Structure 1
């Protein structure tokens, strides 16, 4: 058993005796890396009968001192969760650092559908962000819209053993979709302004792009592995969350591996997609996304 397994066992045993509140911090990684690990922590709190709070403090890439001391609350409505059956309002507050393991599913649901349930319980998007999504979809989408997510910058450097699909491969799949849906539009979400220009030259009036902060020279947008693009962490977080939600409203998705679109595909478990990671290296880094609903008992 590794150190995290020992940690979980210790917390589970302790929670049977002492009312616990698990304090789940940011791990200082990308927005959805943090979010998926946070969900793992909240799920663990459910399983061991502890309350929980989410505290994305100054180590979060999205922290902005002018916007409050908990970056989680910049994006989601609630950060305190009374999970257990109330036994006493007095509880022992303990820091819990969740891992990046695959989410432990709910009975009868796939992992993807389980994450959809957890997101609905614990990650209710703030109204101003939800309203921005609705306005954009209403004003910019057609009856049929293809979503394309292209992560460049840090991914293009090979960080975390990533391989970036050639832009022509994205275009190939977008062209195939347009041939089947000649009146459709293409919504592009990317961290690289140069990709916006390239897609604009090809798809012109079909292309739908949201105005957001992007890299212009290959520097990491969020500062995962380098100094990052200058700009507010609050704005960076709002941008990536908003665009991931907009992608969930598309009719089909073309992606390579990224936690951004893992979130998109959990918000909308019925959304079908092409994963270019399979085409470029034959590796499926998220096989759990293949199950979209109930599982056989």
Structure 2
């Protein structure tokens, strides 16, 4: 199965403090680039222009598949691509276009983002605004980047319009009528937060997927890591373990999504509880993936 996908990781999740110093950032990036287990890496906005240039050169030299995550940019700046206020949508779109240019400068092949907030009494209006914004992003990125919207919860923490898999498919069908560089990006850890089952979600999403995230979540209210915190797989009360990961990978394999001719990126998005835990968590991720694959072999 390793020949049927490219294993990646979200850098800022694996190394939460990586941007605090340029030398530390490059050490973290080199740690992934030099590990033969990984063939892909995902990163977000780098504020230091010199560091951005240095990182781009390393990524180019390493020949790693690179993806750009604009989700942190949206969340940290309170941007909303489906806001009912036109000026707010324009501000969000302008920043996303800047992110597209930054992604291209880093040699990324795709950019992922998330929708704005979900309001039950304004879904249809918000969907129209989001379709318009996503279309503009795709037009701006055409010939340069694939654009992917990541699915999140709609009533737990992020409270994002996209959202349930059926709503995501509606958006994909609408945007892809004119833009073939638009895709859906599911995260295994978000499926419990969307109140869906793995098989149900993938059945809806697979025609519009080109890669995926694998992570973990805790849905016990009162837990310090309740919601979209991406804790280590061994964390108490976790929703995702080797059984769930094996089910997820099994469906992706049996449907042909995982394949040797056009290997999709499958990226871990798991956060250590402290810097001291980073290597242990990286090792745990690798072990769990191999265990999940072993379970499939025995079926």
TM above 0.5: no
Higher-helix-fraction structure: 2
The higher radius of gyration belongs to 1
Question: What is the TM-score normalised by the length of structure 1?
Answer: 0.31
